[in-house]
Amino acid sequence: MNSTSMVVSGGAVVAQLMPRPHPITACADQLSAVLAEVAGVPAVYMSPEDKRAALLALTDAERRLAELRLRVIAAAADVADARGARDVAGWLASRTHAGSA
Maximum CA pair distance of the chain? 61
Contact by Cβ (8 Å): 51, 43: yes
pLDDT at 98: 78
Nearest to 44 by CA among 36, 54, 35: 54
| Predicted confidence band of residue 17 (pLDDT cuts 50, 70, 90) | confident
Contact 22, 28 (CB under 8 A): no
Read off the pLDDT of residues 32-85 as tens digits, 9 standing for 90 and up. Answer: 999 999 999 999 999 999 999 999 999 999 999 999 999 999 999 999 999 999
Q: Give CA torsion, residues 21, 24, 29, 31, to 10 deg.
A: 160
Say if residue 99's pLDDT is above 90.
no
The predicted pLDDT at position 52 comes to: 99
Q: What angle do CA 61, 67, 73 make, to 5 degrees?
A: 130
